Chain A
Amino acid sequence: MEQFFSYLISGLSTGSVYSLVALGLALIYRSTRILNFAHGDIATAGTFVAFTLLTMRAPFSLAAIVAILFGAILATGFYFVILVPAQRRDATQLGQITLTLGLGLILQGLILYFGGAEPQSFPFPLSEFKLYKIGEIHISQLSLGTLGISLMACLLFYLLVQKTRLGLAMRATSENLQAAQTLGIPTRRVLALSWGLAAGLGVLAGLFLAPALLLDPFFMLEPFLKGFAAAILGGLNSLPGAIVGGLILGVAEALTGGFISIAFKNTLAFLIIIVVLLVRPEGLLGVEFKERV
Chain B
Amino acid sequence: MDLIESYREELQLIRKPWTRVWVGALVVALVLLPYFTPEHLVYVATIVSIYAIGVQGQNILIGYTGQISFGQAGFLAIGAFTFGHLTRLGLPWPVTLLFAGGISGLFGVLVGFPSLRLKGPYLAIATMGFGIAVYQIFANSEVLSGGRMGLTVPKLTPPFGLSKIAFMYYFNFSIALLMTLATYNIISSYMGRAFIAIRDNDIAAEVIGVNLTRYKLLSFAISSFYTGVQGGLYALFIGYLEPNMFTFMESITLFVAVIIGGLASVEGSIMGAAFVILVPQMFSSFKEMIPVVFGVTILIILIFEPLGLAGRWFKMRLYFRNWPFR
Stretch at the interface among B21-29, B48-56, B97-105, B117-125: B117-125
A236 contacts which chain B residues (CB < 8 A)?
Answer: 121-122
A49, chain B: closest CB distance, angstroms = 18
B239 contacts chain A at the CB level, 8 A cutoff: no
B293 contacts which chain A residues (CB < 8 A)?
Answer: 109
A35: contacting residue among B121, B213, B294, CB under 8 A: B121
User: B interface, by DSSP: helix, strand, loop or mixed?
Assistant: helix
In the complex, the answer to whether B252 meets A281 with C-beta atoms within 8 Å is: no
A99: contacting residue among B120, B132, B248, B298, CB under 8 A: B298
B292 contacts chain A at the CB level, 8 A cutoff: yes
- CB neighbors of A among B290-306 (8 A): 290-299, 302-303, 306
A110 contacts chain B at the CB level, 8 A cutoff: yes
Nearest-neighbor residue (CB-CB) of B253 within chain A: A105
Most-contacted residue by chain A among B62, B124, B259, B303 (CB, 10 A): B303
Nearest-neighbor residue (CB-CB) of A88 within chain B: B303
User: A interface, by DSSP: helix, strand, loop or mixed?
Assistant: helix
Q: How many A-B residue pairs have CB under 8 A?
A: 132
In the complex, the answer to whether A35 meets B125 with C-beta atoms within 8 Å is: yes
B188 contacts which chain A residues (CB < 8 A)?
Answer: none
In the complex, the answer to whether B125 meets A291 with C-beta atoms within 8 Å is: no
B136 contacts chain A at the CB level, 8 A cutoff: yes
A97, chain B: closest CB distance, angstroms = 7
B303 contacts which chain A residues (CB < 8 A)?
Answer: 82, 85-86, 89, 91, 99
4 closest residue pairs by CB, A with B: A102-B298, A105-B295, A106-B295, A109-B292
Which B residues lie at the A interface, using CB under 8 A? 62, 68, 113-114, 116-122, 124-126, 128-130, 132-133, 136-137, 140, 212-213, 248, 252, 255-256, 259, 286, 288-299, 302-303, 306
Which A residues lie at the B interface, using CB under 8 A? 29, 33-35, 82, 85-86, 89, 91-95, 97-99, 101-110, 112-113, 221, 225, 228-229, 232, 236, 263, 266-267, 270-271, 273-274, 277-278, 281, 289, 291, 293
29 intermolecular pairs with C-beta atoms under 8 Å apart? A34-B121, A85-B303, A89-B306, A94-B62, A94-B120, A95-B302, A95-B306, A98-B302, A99-B298, A101-B256, A103-B295, A105-B252, A105-B295, A106-B291, A106-B295, A108-B291, A108-B295, A109-B293, A113-B288, A113-B292, A228-B128, A263-B140, A267-B136, A270-B130, A270-B132, A271-B133, A274-B130, A274-B133, A277-B126
